[in-house]
Amino acid sequence: MEKIYERPKSLTDRGLAYCPGCLHGVATRLIAELLDEMDQRTNAVAVLAVGCGTLGMFHFNTDVVVSPHGRTPAVATGAKRAAPGKLVFSYQGDGDLAAIGMAEIMHAANRGENFTVIFINNSTYGMTGGQMAPTTLVGQKATTAPLGRNPAETGYPMKMCEILSQLEAPKYIARFALDCPANILKAKKGIRKAFGMQMAGKGFTFVELLSNCPTNWGMPALECMDWMRENTMKVFPLGVFRDGDE
């Protein structure tokens, strides 16, 4: 019998440490599948942020660097400049990238650094207890916003694709969702394009993946998918915001 589906070699044998139903596992596997398919496992450098994505240190069977909180783009910049032939990608959550790391992501993008950012947007601080994140929706509850986010007090959700697409240097900026198989396949295609453009030396590439957080949202995983479609995806519309190949 021919095996048509197996564990990617770019994943370790350890079981995924993410919470049950969390889409971080889907994102991690997509990246690993692409590293295998593009024959980049031994050439890849994963730069991980502080947060749920830090667990990638146990899962990516590649070279891995864990950065200080928010400094992931700076570390990725150094890795890529030191070894320009490597496929360098950062894996960051919304708290890490859009809060403490806002300066780093903006300046790395503005310089057109030739690495890829994988940005997981689940609209909460997942690992540290469900505090309000820069991407938390208006009215969405969090441990630090028990009545729901009030824009009069805390502003509106940060739309990173839209913000970064105003810069001249980035070459590829896109947002996908991981809520269903069709969208997962589109996300994989987008990550493949970002990786390919990086390896062609074209510059900064950014892929946002809309995810969930069953633990801190306080709902079953399947209900999370419906909630994403009814709420998250209306605030953060899917699509390609910049494509330097077009």
pLDDT in tens, 208-234: 999 999 999 999 999 999 999 999 999
Residues of the chain with pLDDT under 70: 246
Q: Provide the b/e sequence for 15-47 (b: ≥16 CB within 10 Å).
A: ebebbebbbbbbbbbbbbbbbbebebbebbbbb
Amino acid 62 reads T
pTM across the whole model: 0.96
Distances from the Cα of 222 to the Cαs of 20, 93, 182, 218, 219, in angstroms? 11, 21, 16, 12, 8
Confidence (pLDDT) at 246: 67
Are 40 and 15 within 8 A, CB to CB? Answer: no
